A and B are shown apart, each in its own frame.
Chain A
Amino acid sequence: CDDFGDVNVNPDAIQTSTPEYILSKSIYDGTQPLGNHPGLLMGTMQYTTSWNDIAGFGSKYTTAQQTRTSGPFSDSYSNQINEINEVIKVMLDKPEEVNKLSIARIWRVYCYHRLTDLYGDIPYTEGGMGYIQGIYQPKYTPQAEIYADMLKELQEATAAFNSDGATFGAGDVIYGGNIDQWKKFGYSLMLRLGMRLTEVQPGESKTWVERAIAGGVILNDADIAAIRNYNATGQTLTRNPLAYRLLDDDYRSADGVNNKEGGKYQETFIDSLKDNNDPRLPVLSVVWIDGEPENDPGLQKGMSDREPGQAPPDFAFLSQPNPATVLKEDGALLIFTVSESNYLLAEAALRGWYGGQTAAALYETGIRAAMRQWEIAVGAAGAIAQEDIDAYVIAHPLVATTPDNIEPALAQIYTQFWMGSFPEAQEPYNHYRRLGYPALTPNDYPGNATNNQIIRRFLYPNTEQTLNPTSYKDALQRQMNEYGWKGDDLNGRVWWDAREL
């Protein structure tokens, strides 16, 4: 009577995992837009906006829509973080799988830094351990400790690669199993995270930046960390996630009028491109005229972030993303670029942490790499003529600075990074918070929740108050004490966001 055979065995489920397949899933999930979609950071960084208050939250910070910022927290743990933990669980303590373990550890750092940068303290040591360790109410780890551990992880993982060991092969949708490139990606992340500490731990920052540079970062287009195998008509998960998100939120109608959430490019971004005669403008932006996307720079015009809940009369004639490039669902997604390495190296040079090249040379290399990025991502439609790049570079030299005041140069570097990074908004947002560049003008939209300030962080999900109350309260109290947060608020500054405003 008590033997039911395999009745309780799900015939449609696999009993043991295939780590290679789970890794692929984790990479696709980990590169989803998180906060980086039109309604959030793309708006905050003033690339886009919407006349509609709901979708316009990122650029308007309206009180009624604050809880929209909790999405990335909710989405990350159950997807990319849990998945990468499942991979690591299998690879631990197996010398022959050391390369796979290292790849997974690097990927976990990528996933976690994107999350902690948005929120501050988050469950890290105990995060995503519901099944593996039976932790149902994970404690939050202070961001300083998270950073220390992430950098340690990057160091150990990059050092542990073994050129004879097995890799994930095709399941590694970033590098197809090339461990040299993974090393470069690991050190590049170390460079990114090390530089993040300039305002709070300058000594540590220098150490990690130098260590990363010594290890070797991504400097050639062939080494760019990217997902290149997207499919324009396939499953949502295997389409370029930024293109898909923009299309799905707003631009599927492809007529300039019936933009579902009332979205357009914001005038801050379009004006910057126009004012600088940026050759990227026609690559990025179109206006729909007579049913055709026109990318003539003279026609381009962004939308104000003050539109009061109604479309402006000239809505149809405002600029929006170019379907041939930005909205190309089988375009590559760039995770870590040559331009970012060069901009970070330029900052290192300015700070005297790197002497290989001058800051000005690195800055120029960064701009050139950023201009090439679009062709790398989407092919011919993204190509920018060499003479246009040359002209732009000549018109935009890095100002000379002294070691006492590198600010004008930093402002140039990270404004340039911002202009070249779109549609990736999260790293520009990080630099904006760390240094204040680009110098964006906050929106004083009526009913904003931030006293006319650009949001400094995202809000934890409400469910944490109810399902993880002690850990949540502890973390909040700690950050209120340490960083002067007024509760779980949008104006709170995370640990590394410490520069005087």
Chain B
Amino acid sequence: TVPVSFAQQFASTASARALRGLQVSSDPGFVEDQQVSLKEALNDLKKRYNIRFAYRAGLLEGKTISAAWLEEGLAAEAMLDKMLDHCKLQYKKINKNQFSIFAQDDSTSPFGSLTSMDATANVEASIAARDERSPNFTLTGTVTSQDDGMTMPGVNVVVKGTAIGTTTDGDGKYTLSVPDEGGTLVFSFIGYATQEVAFAPAQTVVNVTMVVEMSTLGEVVVTALGIEKDKNALAYSVTEVKGEEFTQAREVNVANSLSGKIAGLNATGSSTGPGGSSRVIIRGNGSLTGQSQPLYVINGMPIDNSVPGGSSSPNGANGNLATNVDRGDGIAAINPDDIESITVLKGGTAAALYGSRGANGVILITTKKGVARKGIGVEYNTTYTLDNVAVFPDWQYEYGQGDKGVMPTTQSAAVGTGRMSFGARIDGNTNYVAADGKNHPYTAQKDNLKHFYQTGKTFTNTVALSGGNESILYRLSLSDLDATSILPNTTYNRKTANLNLSGKLSDKLRVETVVQYTLEKGKNRPNAGDALGNPNWTPYEVANTVDVRWLDPGYDALGNETLWNDVPIATNGYFVINKIKQRDEKNRFIGQASVTYDILKNLTAKGTVTRDFYSYDFQHILPTGTAYVLKGEYLGIESEVSETNAMATLNFKQQLSESIGFNILGGFNSRRFVEKRMDMRGQEFTQPYFYSFTNLNTSSARPYLGRTETNSIFGSVDFDYKGYLFLTATGRQDWFSTLSPDNNGIFYPSVGASFVLSDAITMPTAFNLVKFRASWAQVGGGGPDPYQINLTYSSVPSNTVPLQNVTEVNPGTKNITNAELKPFTSTTTEVGFNVQLLDNRLGFDVALYDRRSTDDIVAVPISVATGYSNAVLNSGELSNRGIELMINATPARVGAFTWDVSYNFAYNKSEVLKLAPGISTLQLGASANGNATIRNNVGNTYGAIYGHRKLRTEDGTIVYNPTSNVAEWTDANQELGKGVPPITMGLSNDFRYKDFSLGILVDGKFGNSVFSVTEVYATRLGLHKMTLPGRENGLRLQGVTKEGAAYDYTVPVENLRNAYWNAQNRYTELFVSDASFVKLRQVILSYRLPVEKVKFLKIQSATLSLVGRNLAILYKKTDNFDPEQALTNGPAQGIESLGLPRTRSYGVNLMVKF
């Protein structure tokens, strides 16, 4: 289908036609039926519908059609049918934008040579070089497209260095008489790489698979509001990723697949297992505390990407240790098989038409649509992958379980030291007794992660049916994803049904609907953060001579937790697996409907309504018998979230003169976001072991209704001058319900220009494209959350007298509201250029940007002594500047072998410029126990890690406290690293040879750090290698005291843990590591099965792939964990806290088309 806003651009009068350069026959005898040449008519169609034609040279000569037909406003294909049929020609649609034209009886047209309006120079050259030698024998063959395995009509086939040539027929076949001494065939087709294939004397068959050329020339991309534009016209950087990128080597959450593929996009999946959320940041974090993730848009309209009940936190969420579960985000519901392409609009300049929510970039997802065809097209895609723990900690295995250098020999001593490895030297002693009360040899147990976790499995199946005719197109897909986590008893299932219907009700009226229904079910999603209910605590921190399986099953005959260590808050991991109950279910419905009406041929109106709705049900149960919460605890969330958008646009297009084109668009949008939630909490199950909200000693159900509305009007104007200079300006006015009624509106503009130098002047032939672009955009935004204007009060559940308190945003969070709240502004300036060289085999794209957020609406954490936890302020200022580089190259293209390389690099420098008067720090989050904090400090980067260092003298000598015999510490304001990597890069290599292809993606992030809670505990408990010194004779400490006196003290072995290592948790700096890494992110080896040899199966194509994700970490600085071990998709990045270990996955993918 054709984008509406471009569908009609004809003036309705002959004069207008003349203006557009259409050469109308002016013979007065034919006034009633003016004729135009077919070539010009096609030329017109080409511009109008952004399509391309390939045809044999001379095929169109002398053919004319009625000029009136061009006025009829038919869709491209209908128009072509009519025109070509009249001229005894036919066409075949090669892809969305390309058509090949040939004679109706054209099976072999000797000596015809193919041309096209966009023929590349080398095709012309090969045609020009022909001579007139005569052919001697007959060569035949079939040309197919590697893209979809379909045969390709209209491909130009020439014997190199001769005039001998032809084009392929409607079935992609050609027949050619060639010289008997052999030679080289040159196959060329617009949009595909030209191939040269040698043939031997007397050879009779040469079959060729054409490969799509990685070229940006004339490419059409989807931009804001779903408008398709010529890539050359864009004044900003846009990256498009095809759907196949997501369907072979899959991530359960499709957003994770973006990692390493796009310059300036930083995607990190949470370490929470299948169904977990993802954090995607484009060009740095744009808001000091608010939403910095991009807006997700499907087919032009926004969807919701929230995490029900909020993101998990790096420590226990709001004091609710048991419920720190990653419940998964909105994008996790999208089935990659339904994605046609993803376009990433990187910032304000590209996304200004989306308003405030586009300030952080927009990820545009275009879903697959039906194509007109005979019968029903069936696609089947199946993937089976296995997951295993990727990184194992490098603990010490010299000294085993115990304390004070003593190995436990009784069960109670074993429980008391269950997580302590300060025992005797590991020597195989058989007097050793473990927490299970049994004798075991005192030997190192290095495989606890392997024993505790299992092989995760993900099985995905998608069937899609598609088809249609001229007036209606459909595609229906059904998908099932079934995942078993590496954590036993943890599963995630996602079922998706997606229906896309588009229809042409009349010549002027088109409709399109997309309906998606998703059912997600999670079971036993793991807790992370602090110890309670965290399954990972046990396998990571159990003493190093304990085989974790000795703690299985983690409960006694009554079902009560069996203890394995000295503190019950560190729940037995097997009890977590076997007894803690969590389940969730999300029913999601995304519906879109649009109507497009061509009021005039160049004036189009479109109305769209979309609604993204989900209902969600979550239940988490700490069961009766949990050692730390003996009578258990209940948490439930029931919520309904909807995002509804209604948009109307009017588009007018006009050619102002022969060289100037003009397009204007105006519209309005109304957004309604509603979150309706019931939080249910309760303590103490009255009837033990029976888990229901009705069975609680105390319980409270707390409703929340959050409503936000935004009304907008917007417009854009585009000019193009001779197809090489483009200007765009947009403006938008928003009104936000979340702001002060006196000041809730803001207008903001954007302008941009692009200049295609290579089209404006004649460049050396090595240059295929040289383009410069520049843009400036402002975007305004409202407060993300409602009810921030007036202080309100809420009743507090009570069994005695009525109680009332200041309304809490979340339990324990009180905000100082702000009656003056006004819109914030984000301003982006971007410049860049794009060069394509050497037959498009080498390309560069460079972008520089400067993005500044002012008047940012920030809930600033303030001193607890104010009585509140946060103040809602309106004065934050944040800057992000960066450079992005993309290089594409085709280092080798030899016969059927091609090697494509794509490299992207991005550097982003963020700086917090201002918070609020008198406030210089803003805490985004903290580790469990608060040892490390993630903060935005004025003058520093976004999200830096802060904490304590050991106190040192100027020459680095450690200052000790002779009272406590540990080092003195500095204040908590020491900067210890960046939480967000400033440098990201990706390198992909794609090799293709005949039916084989191999894709390898390596990506890396550099310059950030991570604070490890795992290592904090491993140090306190004697697992970390740094705790080895002094195990035999005590640890000697030397330094100075605060007064400057020499300090020399030896910590005796019996006090090593208790008095020394246990207290090292204070020094945050000890646990901060460089988090830079390079990962072998993805490997795909594909083979296109030769299905044409088994015709009776009626398979059009089938591809089998071996796929791998996160196969290896090629470079890292962390010894004991994966540097990407993040466990929240919230803003506090840079804390590792005993999340589910990250995995490497590998599997097989089969894609079959019938």
Beyond A7-B708, A468-B862, 20 extra complex contacts between A and B, CB < 8 Å: A7-B709, A8-B789, A10-B792, A12-B794, A21-B802, A24-B798, A24-B800, A53-B1062, A73-B865, A78-B869, A131-B806, A131-B817, A233-B698, A235-B700, A310-B412, A446-B1058, A446-B1059, A450-B964, A466-B972, A467-B921
- Counting CB contacts under 8 A, is B807 at the interface? yes
- Whether A137 pairs with B972 at a CB distance below 8 angstroms is no
Complex Cα distance A464/B973, Å? 11
Q: Give bound CA distance, A171 to B801, whole Å.
A: 7
The answer to whether A82 touches B867, judged by C-beta atoms less than 8 angstroms apart, is yes
- Report Cα–Cα, A53/B403, bound state, in Å: 13
Given known A258-B627, A260-B627, contact A64–B1066 (CB-CB < 8 A): yes
Q: Which residues of A contact B946 (CB under 8 A)?
A: 466
B803 an interface residue at 8 Å Cβ cutoff? yes
What residues of chain A lie closer than 8 Å to B1060, measured between beta carbons? 447
Query: Min CB distance, B829 to chain A, in Å?
Result: 29
- The answer to whether A447 touches B964 (Cβ under 8 A) is yes
Give A140's nearest chain B residue, CB to CB. B865
B616-657: CB near A (< 8 Å → 1, else 0) gives 000000000001101100000000000000000000000000
Q: Mark A244-269, 1 if CB is under 8 A from B, else 0.
A: 00000000110000101110000000
Asked if B816 contacts A238 (CB within 8 A), the reply is: no
Bound CA span A125–B15, Å: 82
Are A74 and B864 touching (Cβ within 8 A)? yes
Q: Does A451 contact B (CB under 8 A)?
A: yes
Given the complex, which residues of A lie within 8 Å of B807, measured CB to CB? Answer: 10, 13
The 6 closest A-B pairs by CB, nearest first: A234-B799, A130-B866, A447-B1059, A82-B867, A310-B416, A21-B804
Q: Say whether, besides A10-B792, A12-B794, A77-B867, A237 and B738 are in contact (CB < 8 Å).
A: no
Q: Mark A80-98, 1 if CB is under 8 A from B, else 0.
A: 0111011000000000000
Q: Does B611 contact A (CB under 8 A)?
A: no
Q: Which residues of B contact A235 (CB under 8 A)?
A: 698, 700, 797-799
Q: Are A128 and B866 in contact (CB under 8 A)?
A: yes
Interface residues of B in 789-839 (CB under 8 A from A): 789-807, 812, 814, 816-817
CB-CB nearest in chain B for A16 = B793
Partner among B566, B793, B861, B972 whose Cβ is within 8 Å of the Cβ of A52: B566
Contacts of A231 in B (CB 8 A): 799-800
Q: Output the nearest chain A residue to B805 by Cβ-Cβ distance.
A: A25
User: How far is A464 from B860 in the complex, measured between Cα atoms in Å?
Assistant: 14
Q: Which of A1-57 contact B (CB under 8 A)?
A: 1-4, 7-18, 20-22, 24-25, 28, 52-54
Residues of A within 8 A of B700 (CB): 235
- B133-159 interface bits toward A, Cβ cutoff 8 Å, 1 = contact, 0 = none: 000000000000000000000000000
B778: chain A residues at CB < 8 Å are: none
Which residues from chain A contact B966 at a C-beta distance below 8 Å? Answer: 63
**Closest CB in chain A relative to B140 CB, distance in Å:** 68
Q: Which of A10, A54, A236, A260 contacts B628 (CB 8 A)?
A: A260
Whether the pair B1055, A446 counts as a contact (CB closer than 8 A) is yes
Do B628 and A135 have beta carbons less than 8 Å apart? no
- Given A1-B735, A63-B966, A233-B698, CB of A135 within 8 Å of CB of B866: yes
Q: Which of B683, B918, B964 contacts A236 (CB 8 A)?
A: B683
A450–B963 CB distance below 8 A = yes
Smallest CB gap from A85: residue in B: B867
Cβ of B568 under 8 Å from chain A: yes
Count of chain A to chain B residue pairs whose CB atoms are closer than 8 Å in the complex:
279
CB atoms of B793 and A466 under 8 A apart: no
CB interface residues, A 395-412, toward B, < 8 Å: none
The interface of chain B, by Cβ under 8 A from chain A, is: 403-404, 412-413, 416-417, 566-568, 627-628, 630-631, 683, 697-698, 700, 703-705, 707-709, 711, 713, 733, 735, 737-738, 741, 744-745, 786-787, 789-807, 812, 814, 816-817, 860-869, 871, 916, 918-921, 923, 929-930, 933, 935, 946, 963-966, 971-973, 1020, 1042, 1054-1055, 1058-1060, 1062-1063, 1065-1066
A137 touches B630 (CB 8 A): no
Q: Does the CB pair B793–A18 fall under 8 Å?
A: yes
Report A365-417 residues with CB < 8 Å from chain B CB: none
Residue A173 at the chain B interface, CB threshold 8 Å: yes
Contact of A14 among B745, B794, B933 (CB under 8 A): B794
Report whether A310 and B862 are in contact in the complex, using a CB–CB cutoff of 8 Å: no
A201 contact set on B, CB distance < 8 A: none
Question: Chain A interface secondary structure, helix, strand, loop or mixed?
Answer: loop
> Would B867 and A128 count as touching, CB distance under 8 A?
yes
**In the complex the two chains form, what is the Cα distance from A161 to B834 in whole Å?**
81
Interface: A106 (CB within 8 A): no
Which residues of A does B touch, CB under 8 Å?
1-4, 7-18, 20-22, 24-25, 28, 52-54, 62-64, 67, 73-74, 77-79, 81-83, 85-86, 122-123, 126-131, 134-138, 170-171, 173, 229-231, 233-238, 252-253, 258, 260-262, 308-311, 313, 446-451, 461-469, 471, 486
Bound-complex Cα distance A22 to B713 (A): 45
Whether A309 contacts B1058 in the complex (CB less than 8 A), given A231-B799, A258-B627, A467-B863, comes out as yes
| A11 CA / B868 CA spacing, docked (Å) | 22
Given A21-B804, A238-B799 in contact, is the A461-B864 Cβ separation under 8 Å?
A: yes
Q: Is the CB of A7 within 8 A of B707?
A: yes
Instruction: Give complex CA distance A20, B863 in Å.
Output: 27
Known contacts A14-B793, A17-B793, A128-B866: A462-B871 contact under CB 8 Å: no
Please give me the residue from chain B that is nearest to A79 by CB atom: B805
Q: How far apart sit A67 and B1065, CA to CA, in the bound complex (Å)? A: 11
Residue contact A238 to B793, C-beta cutoff 8 Å = no
Q: By the criterion CB–CB under 8 Å, are B863 and A447 in contact?
A: no
A67 touches B930 (CB 8 A): yes
The residue in A3, A12, A467 that gathers the most chain B C-beta atoms within 10 A of its C-beta is A467
Residues of B within 8 A of A63 (CB): 964, 966, 1059, 1062-1063, 1066
Residues of A within 8 A of B798 (CB): 24, 234-235, 237-238
Is there an interface contact between B863 and A24, defined as CB atoms closer than 8 Å?
no
Quick check: A25 and B797 within 8 Å, CB to CB? Answer: no
Question: Across the interface, do B864 and A53 meet the contact criterion of CB distance under 8 Å?
Answer: no
A261 and B532 CA atoms in complex are apart in Å by 14
Q: Are B1059 and A138 in contact (CB under 8 A)?
A: no
B866 touches A129 (CB 8 A): yes
Contact A127 to B800, CB < 8 A, known contacts A7-B709, A310-B416: no
Contacts of A9 in B (CB 8 A): 787
Q: Which of A233, A313, A465 contacts B697 (CB 8 A)?
A: A233
A171 to B368, CA, bound (A): 64
> A283–B797 Cα gap in the complex (Å)?
33
Residue from the list B792, B918, B971 in contact with A13, Cβ < 8 A:
B792
Interface pairs (5), CB distance under 8 Å: A78-B868, A123-B865, A237-B803, A461-B864, A463-B930
Query: Is A14 touching B738 in the complex (CB atoms < 8 A)?
Result: no
* Contact residue among A77, A171, A449, A486 (Cβ-Cβ distance under 8 Å from B864): A77
Question: Quick one: given A25-B804, A130-B816, are A234 and B698 in contact (CB under 8 Å)?
Answer: yes
| A8-B789, A130-B868 as given contacts; A22 in contact with B630, CB under 8 Å | no
- Is there contact, CB below 8 Å, between A449 and B865? no
Task: Assess the A64–B799 pair: CB atoms within 8 A.
Answer: no
Partner of B973, one of A82, A170, A171, A466: A466
A252 touches B630 (CB 8 A): yes
The one of B567, B800, B860 that contacts A173, using a Cβ cutoff of 8 Å: B800
Contact A464 B865 (CB under 8 A): yes
B867 in contact with A129 (CB, 8 Å): yes
Q: For B806, B860, B923, B933, which residue has the most chain A Cβ atoms within 10 angstroms? A: B806
A4–B1058 touching, CB < 8 Å: no
Chain A residues contacting B805 (CB-CB under 8 Å) are 22, 25, 79, 83
Contact A229 to B867, CB < 8 A, known contacts A7-B709, A67-B930, A446-B1055:
no
Closest to B933 in A: A466
**What chain B residues lie within 8 Å of A230 (beta carbons)?**
800
Decide: A130 and B737 in contact? CB cutoff 8 A. Answer: no
Q: Are B709 and A13 in contact, with the CB atoms below 8 A?
A: no
List B contacts of A465 (CB < 8 A).
971-973
Q: Given A25-B796, A466-B946 in contact, is the A8-B867 Cβ separation under 8 Å?
A: no
